[in-house]
Amino acid sequence: MEIAKTYKPADAEKRWYPYWLAKGFFKSTPDHRTPYTIVIPPPNVTGVLHMGHMLNNTIQDVLIRRARMMGYNACWVPGTDHASIATEAKVVKLLADKGIKKADLGREEFLKHAWDWKEKYGGIILEQLKMLGASCDWDRTRFTMSPEMSEAVLDVFVDLHKKGRIYRGVRMVNWDPLGLTAVSDEEVIYKETNSKLVYVKYKIENSEEFITVATTRPETIMGDTAVCVNPADERYTHLRGKNIIIPVVNRIVPLIFDEYVDAAFGTGALKVTPAHDINDFNLGQKHKLPIIDALTPEGKISEAAGAYSGMDRFACRKQIIKDLQEQGLVEKIEEIKNKVGYSERTDAVIEPKLSMQWFLNMEELSKPALDQVLNGHVKLIPEKFINTYKHWMENVHDWCISRQLWWGQRIPAWYDNAGNTAVCKTREEAFVELKIKNEKLRIEDIKQDEDVLDTWFSSWLWPMTVFDPQVIKNGWENANADLKYYYPTNDLVTAPEILFFWVARMIIAGKEYTGQKPFNNVYLTGIVRDKQGRKMSKSLGNSPDPLELITKYGADGVRVGMLLSSPAGNDLLFDESYCEQGRNFANKVWNAFRLIRGFEVASGPGAGKLEGGGKKEQPASSKAAIIWFENKLAEQLEVINDHYSKYRMSDALMATYKLVWDDFCAWYLEAIKPDFVDGKSLSIDQITYDCTIGFLESLLKIMHPWMPFITEEIWHLIGERKENDCILVAEWPTIRATPQTKLLAEFEICKELVTMVRNVRAQKQLSPKEKLELIERSEAGRSTYDSVIVKLANLSSFSYTKNKIESALSFVIGTTEFYVPLSITINKEDEKERLLKELVYNRGFLKSVQIKLANEKFVANAKPEVIDVERKKESDALNKIRTLEEQLAGL
């Protein structure tokens, strides 16, 4: 079969992904094997592929593909999240573009439009993941709002309400004036904003005195119901019992004293606005202050405020400052930077707002989830996030689980016309319960709660309900075969910013409903940033389109590019050049394969006929190179496996990259490549060819999790294979023997020696084809790799001597001196300059090592083997300096 000159990623991607799907290689059902399970963090149904998805899902695919090759029953469950706020916003906008208002439609009609939108656009991101190569079991695709998943959510609500953990009440919440819903603390993004700190003078009643209060939110002054100072603040002790006149509305309110106020901060006086700040609310409750809500749900000034009614909050802010200045009530204005909360979904500035909501009491529920991480049952990778997790869990607040939306699981709470409430899954169940309290009640008089549940209230069940949505109702003892087999899952790959409000909550739900953890390990990725360190976003225009990257560099190139510099938990500074490097790596592998397939193999078992008769034996250089690469492959496979076990994904990739590019392509293939004579390549012996193909197959397997498409393509081009003989399901390479470290160390010297001879050629502008003589000054010859050195350095001979060779160019490796006799006259001044540079470098190196060894703290704390390495460096450097000094003296 003719092999294309250049690798075409798009062709391989179109060929192999449908093939894998058709053969059912991604499918998983319970069997005798040990399961390896990952559940995808479900992307929003509104989403399209972005760089964060690329990073997260590439890591998942690498883990699942390797597990599959290691013989595990690998199951990667895909799915999407219904994303209440984001989806409703999309549908509302779609309708608005058609001139239709949500409120005019009514709930049922609106939901029909929402489901239509979901069916049309909701699967886009999953199809895009297929282009990346994601090997999910697509038959298991789940949606958090499917009927069976929604039933599980309602089961949990009813159950936790019966247990007394869910309650309804008026509390301070984060209000999104654009989305018109409460959002959780975790859905509020704090941004540094330029603000004005306005110092407003509040008049003391029946006095000419003023008390100055600093605020960034003067539009809430109309909601003030007190001014508070610290009881120990001597500036205000004479004002005890006095009242304050609120500017603009001239409301009379008390001056209260509370240790909550920091006397050293600002003016030491605080305006108390119970309806618009959680701390003010708490103060208001403590001092029994009235509550005046100065804002409407849409973020406009309310009628209750008493002034500026109907004006937008930010327009009011500007106007009230102007009016206060005209009244002489502004002492000064400072330009400051402060953190302002924005809605993650709508980007509207969040308003603290008192609202009737449903809450889940987290205090008792969260304790087992904290223990699971602290005792190591659930491992966070990297471990630096344990303290963050601990802090969050020890300071957990009740979870506001209701949202003022229509798209989502509607809260199963029912109200009669007498003020009674029943929490039941169905109207019929609620009627039976409410009828006990209200005998005259008719079923048509029952009204269901208008709110839906927070999206996270469904996704916290994800690892359980993707396998068995009935487990909430039936219990772990009666769970289905899938859940009993796949759960707990193995690895979760997600972002640190959702560690608390998704990861922790899944652990809570898992313990509550199965008694088990939901996963063993949580791999926390970093944030993908541009090379300037900025978070990628549409507004900055610094986020490339992943699909365009795949078109340009191939899926394999992008996968490698994403993971070349993405250590767990640390941000990835993405540069498109990484994808280019990934594409170049694929091309390198392709060209290496073409080179191997281009070899003419001598006939016969391990030998071919020579022109003059007899047999062609395996060259000594090839035999030595094979022995070396067998050991190198075993050594690096051990290293790569260790990196995987510690979730050092970038390190595992880089070790793979160097093994293929440097060790196999740059050294091994050069060592076994047939020589050219009269412009023609000589044949390669069968043994060497077979070993080389074997090495290539092992390398393709190691590369496959990172580069699935090119490895499958080459796997099938190597030779005829059965239809199910794909690299995707091939066996991960095993280490057959312990690597011989002595042989590997000797080859490192061999590489250095070849490099030095090549440097001599470059310095003296000698043709690479011109054969050189190399002499080593030593007592005993090094024989293992002499033939490799002769071939790679293109030597006429490599010999040994005890004597110093005059009139030859020399260099030192370790403590050994080497000579290259040249027919040209050596310029002594140039040689002296070269040796002096080398001497200066080695003296500097020696000094750095000796400083380290003179450091008592280093010597006391370092491991003995580390100290030994440093002492060896010192000894080698001293010997090298001595040899260089002798060479200079000789000149």
Give pTM, 2 decimals: 0.85
Q: Residue 830: pLDDT band by 50, 70, 90 thresholds?
A: confident
CA dihedral 375, 376, 377, 380 (to 10 degrees): 130
Q: Residue 607: pLDDT band by 50, 70, 90 thresholds?
A: very low
pLDDT at residue 615, rounded to an integer: 52
Quick one: tokens of 534?
A: 């900025």
Read off the pLDDT of each residue in 881-889 and give the average, rounded to a whole number. Answer: 75
Q: What SS3 class is residue 523?
A: strand
pLDDT, mean over the chain: 91
Tell me if 211 sits within 8 A of 204, measured CB to CB.
yes
Kindly give the pairing relationship between strand 35-39 and strand 73-77: parallel
Question: In this predicted model, which residue has the larger pLDDT, 603 or 549?
Answer: 549
pLDDT at residue 781, rounded to an integer: 65
pLDDT at residue 613, rounded to an integer: 41
Q: What percent of the chain has pLDDT over 70?
A: 96
Closest CA to 64 of 115, 12, 25, 98: 25
Tell me if 858 sits within 8 A of 852, measured CB to CB.
yes
Tell me if 788 sits within 8 A of 632, measured CB to CB.
no
Phi, psi of 614 (to 5 degrees): 85, -170
Read off the pLDDT of each residue in 203-216 and give the average, rounded to a whole number. Answer: 95
pLDDT tens digit string along 242-284? 999 999 999 999 999 999 999 988 899 999 999 999 899 999 9
Q: What percent of the chain has pLDDT over 90?
A: 74
Lowest mean per-residue pLDDT among 159-168, 568-577, 580-589, 714-723: 568-577
Tell me if 600 sits within 8 A of 683, measured CB to CB.
yes
pLDDT tens digit string along 704-745? 999 999 999 999 999 999 999 999 999 999 988 899 999 999
Read off the pLDDT of each residue in 437-444 and give the average, rounded to a whole number. Answer: 91
Quick one: tokens of 573?
A: 């500074």
Tell me if 30 sits within 8 A of 485, measured CB to CB.
yes
pLDDT tens digit string along 758-810? 988 887 888 888 899 999 988 766 678 999 999 999 999 999 988 888 778 88
pLDDT at residue 608, rounded to an integer: 39
Read off the pLDDT of each residue in 46-64 and give the average, rounded to a whole number. Answer: 93
> What is the Cα 337 distance to its own chain's centre?
30
pLDDT at residue 849, rounded to an integer: 87
Question: In this predicted model, which residue has the larger pLDDT, 603 or 477?
Answer: 477
pLDDT at residue 523, rounded to an integer: 96
Lowest mean per-residue pLDDT among 19-23, 298-302, 569-573, 616-620: 569-573
> Is 60 exceeded by the pLDDT of residue 511?
yes
Give the angle 849-851-855 at the CA atoms, nearest 5°: 115
Residues 521-530 as b or e (16 or more Cβ within 10 Å = b)? ebbbbbbbbb
pLDDT tens digit string along 382-430? 999 999 999 999 999 899 999 999 999 999 999 999 999 999 999 999 9
How buried is 449 (Cβ within 10 angstroms: 0-12 exposed, 13-18 middle, 19+ buried)? middle
Tell me if 183 sits within 8 A of 85, measured CB to CB.
yes
| DSSP calls for 84-117 | HHHHHHHHHHHHHHTT--HHHH-HHHHHHHHHHH
Tell me if 488 sits within 8 A of 510, measured CB to CB.
yes
Range from 560-564, 662-666, 770-774, 812-816 that averages highest in pLDDT: 662-666
pLDDT at residue 571, rounded to an integer: 84
pLDDT at residue 611, rounded to an integer: 41
For residue 488, is the peptide bond before it cis, meaning its omega torsion is within 30 degrees of 0? yes
> Is 60 exceeded by the pLDDT of residue 606?
no
What CA–CA distance (Å, rounded) separates 760 from 813?
14
pLDDT at residue 678, rounded to an integer: 62
CA distances from 238 to 16, 199, 233, 619, 818 (A): 83, 22, 10, 103, 94
CA distances from 81 to 154, 455, 488 (A): 16, 8, 21
Read off the pLDDT of each residue in 630-645 and give the average, rounded to a whole number. Answer: 97
Q: Residue 224: pLDDT band by 50, 70, 90 thresholds?
A: very high
Q: Residue 58: pLDDT band by 50, 70, 90 thresholds?
A: very high
Contacts of residue 771, Cβ cutoff 8 Å, sequence gap at least 6: 794, 795, 796
CA distances from 886 to 205, 419, 811, 874, 882 (A): 97, 102, 12, 19, 6
* H-helix or E-strand spanning residue 705: none
pLDDT tens digit string along 532-542? 888 877 667 78
pLDDT at residue 231, rounded to an integer: 95
pLDDT at residue 346, rounded to an integer: 86
Q: Residue 32: pLDDT band by 50, 70, 90 thresholds?
A: very high
Quick one: tokens of 816?
A: 């050994």
Question: In this predicted model, which residue has the larger pLDDT, 348 or 564?
Answer: 348
pLDDT at residue 890, rounded to an integer: 63
Quick one: tokens of 158?
A: 């009813």
Q: Residue 609: pLDDT band by 50, 70, 90 thresholds?
A: very low
pLDDT at residue 876, rounded to an integer: 78
pLDDT at residue 612, rounded to an integer: 41
pLDDT tens digit string along 311-327? 999 999 999 999 999 99
Quick one: tokens of 449?
A: 């709660």
Give the angle 168-174-180 at the CA atoms, nearest 5°: 85
